[in-house]
Chains A and B, each alone.
Chain A
């Protein structure tokens, strides 16, 4: 599903990714680890199409609408409620039975009771839960998750563990994390940036 040959990315003079070769099969689970600034986020953003490589080749055999990307920001509007945010993305992604799916996700991620409150008042953990709802809303076949456990409490982390173990059967996952021990039992491959 993802093939990179000599993939490089520079920001000005700084080379963040240098001639990376990578292959992730369909339904693969790649764990991406490395210290801060090593290129984990850049790799995920390249795969999402949010950045363009400065060298080499990158092929991602999936439509833009079939990608679920979780970045450092939750990508939700602070003036809108969870229902309105997910409705916006649901409409743009043409999610069938949108309302039912939104309700189910909000229920599952423990946000149903705050579904009509503006997200501007949410804690970082609640925003991360909402971001996960956004990512899963359109049932993407490729999930690019950058530090998905960030800001989640124990309950939220356990919930995400269950989601990921279900998702690995039917989706391709690239997960960047500083806590590889948690995901190692699920991952099929590991890419460690130096």
Chain B
């Protein structure tokens, strides 16, 4: 177990250093989410409800995550570096877990800017929404990284990732919007936690088969 966690830490560190140097994922996510919120601010009629605005927040977050996920395996794809990682004598699920942790960190950074921006443009953010976003991030990272790896080996990856990811993100949107706008947020947060748990286990167990030819 220690060995596995060591591999995850080594691979996560590598992904974070790559992003710190290349800066081609987080800045794009930040620009996109701010731009989306600005557009929504002007697109939404002045008398629209807070509920509609919260719905749009989730639309912005899901598409921002999608943008980050399309870049999750760019380095590995462009120079076939996935081969180098697959040849290493570590459990292949460690590659998935490290990428999911790095993706989670990128999402967190994007949301640290997006949520205050949303509060500025629309309305305040409550604790249930923040908890919903945090739980949604876990699910997005778990499922999204697996699908990004799947799409990486395909020629139609730009098309394939949204086609695979968006249907699987619907429960996240349902749970997230429910936690943000409905009474009894606990039920929706529980639903998101269940989704995270089930899909994290499925993705962890199936990653090896996704990246193997």
Contact = CB atoms under 8 A, between A and B. Distances in A.
Given A92-B7, A118-B21, A75 B80 contact: yes
Interface residues of B, number: 23
A179 to B, nearest CB: 23
B10 A88 contact: yes
B88 A93 contact: yes
Contacts of B213: 50-52
Interface string B73-96: 001000111011111111000000
A71 B80 CA distance: 10
Interface in B84-119: 84-90
Interface in A146-190: none
A91 B84 contact: no
Contacts of A134: 84
A73 B18 CA distance: 19
A79 B14 CA distance: 10
Interface string B7-29: 10011001001100110000000
B18 A50 contact: no
Contacts of B11: 92
Contact of A77 (B6, B81, B212): B81
A67 B87 CA distance: 8
* Secondary structure type dominating chain A contacts: loop
Nearest to B87: A69
B81 A75 contact: yes
Contact of B21 (A74, A79, A89): A79
Nearest to A66: B89
Contacts of B7: 91-92
B212 A73 contact: no
A3 interface: no
A130 B44 CA distance: 55
Please name the 7 residue pairs, one residue from A and one from B, whose CB atoms are nearest each other, closest first. Answer: A65-B89, A75-B84, A92-B88, A79-B21, A73-B80, A91-B10, A79-B18
Interface of A: 48-52, 63-65, 67, 69, 71-80, 84, 88-89, 91-94, 118, 134
15 contacts: A49-B86, A50-B86, A50-B87, A65-B88, A69-B83, A73-B79, A73-B83, A75-B79, A75-B80, A75-B84, A78-B75, A89-B88, A92-B10, A92-B85, A93-B88
